[in-house]
Structure 1
Amino acid sequence: MGTGSLCGRCRRSASAGKLRVPLSFPLILRVECGPEEGHASGNKDERPGGIMTERNELEKMLAGELYDASDRELAGMREKARDLCRLLNASPEADGDGRRSLFISLFSSGGETVNVQPPFFCDYGVHIFLGRKVFFNFNCVILDVCRVTIGDYSMFGPAVQIYTAVHPMEAEARRGREFGRPVTVGSDVWVGGGAILCPGVTVGSRSVIGAGSVVTRDIPEGVFAAGNPCRVIRRVEP
Structure 2
Amino acid sequence: MPIGMGKLAIVTGASSGIGLELARVAGREGYDLLIAADEEAIHTAAEDLRASGATVTSIMADLLTSAGVAQLVDQIAANRAEPELLMANAGCGLGHAFLDQDIVDVRHVIDTNVTGTLELLHAVGGMMRAQRHGRILITGSIAGFMPGSFQAVYNASKAFLNSFSFALREELKDTSVTVTCLMPGATETRFFERAGLLDTNIGQSEKDDPADVAETGFRAMMNGEGDIVSGVKNKLQAAIANVTPSGVLASAHRNMAEPGSSRKS
Quick check: TM above 0.5? no
Q: TM-score range by the shorter chain?
A: under 0.3
TM-score using structure 1 length: 0.23
Higher relative contact order, chain-length normalized (CA < 8 Å, sep 6+)? 2
The structure whose Rg is larger is: 1
TM-score using structure 2 length: 0.21
Q: Per residue, is there more strand in 1 or in 2?
A: 1
